[in-house]
Amino acid sequence: MVDYLSLTLLDYRTSSTFLATLGVELEPLGFGRHGYREGAVGANVPAVEVYWDGSDGMGSHVRLGGSALRALEVLGVSPADLCSLAADLGARCTRFDWALDTALVGVGDVAALVRAGQVRRYGNRWSVIESDSGASTVYIGARSSMAMMRAYDCAAVHGLEGRVTRLETEFKAERAQVAFRLFVEQGWAAVTGYVRSAFEFLAGADVTNRSRARSAGWWERVCSGAGVLRVSLATAAECSIARCREWVRRQVAGVLRLVSEYEGGDVSWLSEIVSCAKIPPRRRFLLYSGGV
């Protein structure tokens, strides 16, 4: 299931239209967060946040937590419908969480697999954090990276009997946008395949060559047989550059044409503006991104 979404839309008007279409009523906060001056939360749906009135180019930010997504499903709005609507409105996804529950492995089993090197993963960092209640959460990958998996006892968190381990993969930045587009265009199995390209549990107690090792049988069952789907960051970059062009076309093409006609068709002034502009650091990777 989709367990968390962060979306950036053009402006508050677009965000409010998006949320109103979902059936979400908003209650103003009277203040903002994360660089925005204004904010609101869902009045009838929990775990919904929207922020607006930030600096130029920040747009409006919408956050939908797991509770919001489950509540919207009860109202008849599936994550697939929600994401399709967001994509139609030109939303950019900055966080996309994939989650599956399983009784095939426990949190301790996952930690043991990581320690034994039986995980082919994005990045080298991992950790186990124990709460005051004694419940453990395994983090695979750096929490600040674009892809991180966590495993925890879902049954213990929600006060249920039995063993239910939740495996969550948190995609951020460009990887979130890739997962979002895959979900909209190809469905859940494609996102699961993309998760497998970042994290893969392996069979065998002695994994000497992880690149050639077989996948663990339980992991294959959890993923419902979805194959590994690799998407290069270059592909994501091409999508992002295309979105930049589309934004220019929609937002400033008319003004550019006005000035160009005033200048008698001369566009040298535009070249001067572009040559003096600074590329935002968080977008500079689009110029040289390669395979992942």
Mean pLDDT value of segment 242-250: 79
pLDDT, tens only, 158-182: 666 778 999 999 999 989 999 999 9
Residues of the chain with pLDDT > 90: what percent? 61
Q: Whole-angstrom Cα distance, residue 277 to residue 84?
A: 34
| Helix-then-strand count for the chain, H and E | 11, 12
What pLDDT, on a 0 to 100 scale, did the predictor assign at position 290? 37
pLDDT, tens only, 116-171: 889 988 778 899 998 777 678 999 998 888 999 999 998 776 666 778 999 999 99
Rg, the chain, Cα only: 22
pTM: 0.78
- Alpha carbon separation from 161 to 154, 156, 158, 164, 247 (Å, rounded): 10, 8, 9, 9, 50
Is pLDDT above 90 for 205? no
3-state DSSP: the chain helix, strand, coil percent, rounded to 5? 40, 25, 35
The residues spanned by each domain of the chain are 1-90, 96-230, 236-287
User: Considering only CA atoms, which of 202, 201, 198 is closest in space to residue 231?
Assistant: 198
